[in-house]
Structure 1
Amino acid sequence: MQENHLAKWLNNNLTEAELAEFKKSDGYASYERIVAASDRLKAPDFNADEALTAIKNQRTLQDTKVVQLHPFKKFIRIAAAAAVIIFVSYFYLNNLDENIVTEYAENKEVVLPDNSKVRLNADSELSYSERKWSKERNVELKGEAFFKVAKGKRFTVATDAGKVAVLGTQFNVENREGFFEVTCFEGLVSVTFNGKETKLPAGTSFIVIDGKITEAPAPQTLQPSWLTNESTFKSVPLKFVLAELERQHNITVETQDIDTEQLFTGTFSNTDRDIALKSISAPSQIKFKFEGSKVLFYGDKNP
């Protein structure tokens, strides 16, 4: 990464290529969180004129030097800005979260401070505070992850859709736009959705589709299928299947003259794109074709 990328990023002057390169850097996630923390802070009100008057009143009668006010005003403003920067840095460093992100067609294993293990699926993000971990085992999740939680204090997973809590167990959480699913593979999981708590013993799932709780089939395996490079669905609207196809194969999916609300049951490969496309199109009775870096799914009519 070029040294001037950070400055250009702060001024919104990066080209698309430079921005893509900058996002791949090790420090990008930390820079984003510092900027986010800065945006949430408000500098204290400061009246430069009042400060100058107070300083003038403290001058001794023997001091007859002529003081230029405008340069001193500028110095006070700079000092105030520096104080705000120091405060923001202190606030950020003392609330620093670990932040792990996966891109399309990528998954990653994370070992937490208590040796609990998390496997992040594609296009997901996990955040937690290492400094506070000994007091509270809390993580935030966007996307999908499989957890193997070491026994100990209460362990919570916060998502935009709901909260999951356990003591020590194995479970999977998926939180995508319009889709929320929790599956317990071992132990007991507590899921809170819309203020109501549901207990999930091993071998059960909890699913919410477009804001509505849906009957969840029992898992047929001892771990989620994506850990073995497959994506499996049972009676799930096709739009969520196509969204997962995009994430797993890093492609753009478009549709024409098909019902994306139709329910899909089946499995597609996360490593073989051609097999994946056929695995989706055949049972759905739709067709597909490539257009550059895109794949178009369409109905009987020619696109």
Structure 2
Amino acid sequence: MQENYLAKWLNNELSEEEVIKFKATKEYATYQKIVETTKGLSAPKFDMDKAWNDLKKAKTVAVPEEGSKVISLNPLKKYLRIAAVVALMVSVALFYNNSLDERISTQYAERAEVVLPDASEVVLNAESKIRYSKEKWAEKRSLSLSGEAYFKVAKGKRFSVNTPDGTVAVLGTQFNVESRKGYFEVSCYEGLVSVTYRDKEIKLPAGNSFLVIDGEITPTQHPSTTEPAWLSNESTFKSIPLRFVFEEFQRQYNVKVSTKNIDESQLFSGSFSNQDIELALQSISVPSQIKFKFEGNKVLFYAKAP
């Protein structure tokens, strides 16, 4: 494509013959798609005359000698306008490409099952989200995760899960990733998982987990099941601070949790049902030796009187 075709097309200056040639180029379809996408958009208000006057003021003004030839710079205005439109189209193109990403999210007390383009399966736990490019999936199997998800990855090229805490990479396996504020855990249930945390790679064979709490790598017990307990509607913890237990309870039941006179750093080992809130409250309070008040959609956990 001739370099000036785009500028002339934007300015409606192409001849009929040039339009035919331009439409025959491979770039035309892309530009046309951008134009269609931007029909509902408008550029920010821009005072071209004011900008032009400011530019002239910023230049050192030279007084022409008598009889010298003065060249008008007005034609540059047209090209500045074209440049502004091209810049807008580039920005919109980037926005358009980003908007092609698939985004799936869950709210409190909600789950979602997702089948990726390569038939890999993802189950999202409550308050979680993933984002990936469906268009580029064949080239790069990569997605972003915030929250918790269980993956059954179809065999193929490298499959990456990017989280704010680290990256998990596999070729084909089953594993669980939880990435929340102050908590990052990866458990491998089949195959081999590679976890990159703070530029260090950790290999996890099946039956192993990697846990980071508040930035500290924490020893953890090996998974004793073939899949995470939450898939069977149960939240399980092994020596985990109570505050993470309360947060998970809040996510699973969509209730507001508050505490009073409780050491939330106290370690908790046990589980609670994700389907029976009364049973779940007992499962948390009894082993922790605390009490609770449940009213409406609010739960208060508090310490027993001495």
Distance 1:55 1:171, change over 3 A: farther
Deviation at 1:137, TM superposition (A): 0.5
1:89 aligns with 2:92: yes
Name the counterpart of 2:111.
Answer: 107
Counterpart of 1:218 in structure 2: which amino acid?
A: H
State the SS of the aligned residue for 1:89: helix
The letter for the 1-side match of 2:226 is L
Is 1:244 equivalent to 2:248 in the alignment?
Answer: yes
Deviations for 1:221-276, whole angstroms, at most 9, x for unmatched residues?
10000001000000000000000000000001000011110000001011111111
Normalised by the size of structure 2, how large is the TM-score? 0.74
1:116 aligns to 2:120 (yes or no): yes
- How big is each residue's C-alpha offset from its partner over 1:162-208, in whole Å with a ceiling of 9 and x where there is no partner? 11000000000000110000000000000011111110000000000
Deviation at 1:57, TM superposition (A): 3.8
CA gap of 1:57–1:189, structure 2 versus 1, over 3 A, is closer
Identity of aligned residues (%): 57
2:152 equivalent to 1:148: yes
What aligned pairs does 1:274-289 form with structure 2 within 5 A after superposition? 274-289=278-293
Q: How many residues align?
A: 247
Q: Shift in Å at residue 113 of structure 1?
A: 0.7
Change (3 A) 1:58 1:243: closer
Who wins on radius of gyration, i.e. which is larger? 2
Alignment of 1:201-216 (within 5 A): 201-216=205-220
Matched letter for residue 229 of structure 1: N
**TM-aligned CA deviation for residue 292 of structure 1:** 3.6
Offset of 1:291 from its aligned partner?
Answer: 3.8
Q: Distance in 2 between matches of 1:166 and 1:134?
A: 16
Determine the C-alpha separation between the residues in 2 that align with 1:58 and 1:80: 13
C-alpha RMSD of the superposition: 3.0
For 2:132 and 2:49, locate their aligned partners in 1 and report how far apart those are by CA, in whole Å.
Answer: 40
1:23-76 C-alpha deviation (Å, 9 max, x unpaired): xxxxxxxxxxx9xxx9xxxx9x996446588987459xxxxxxxxxxxx99xx9
Q: Aligned ranges for residues 245-260 of structure 1 at < 5 Å?
A: 245-260=249-264
Q: TM-score, normalized by length of structure 1?
A: 0.74
Q: Which residue of 1 aligns with 2:19?
A: none
> 1:300: how far off?
1.5
Q: In the TM superposition, what is the alpha-carbon distance from 1:119 to its structure 2 partner? A: 0.3
Could you tell me which runs of 5 or more consecutive residues in structure 2 were left unpaired when the two chains were aligned. Answer: 1-36, 57-70
Measured in 1, the distance between the counterparts of 2:299 and 2:74 equals 74
Alignment match, 1:161: 165
Instruction: Provide the C-alpha distance between the structure 2 equivalents of 1:291 and 1:274, rounded to a whole number of angstroms.
Output: 12
C-alpha distance in structure 1 between counterparts of 2:72 and 2:291, whole Å: 78
Cα deviation, 1:82-106, whole Å, max 9, x if unaligned, reads 6665443321222321110100000
Q: Which amino acid aligns with 2:130?
A: L
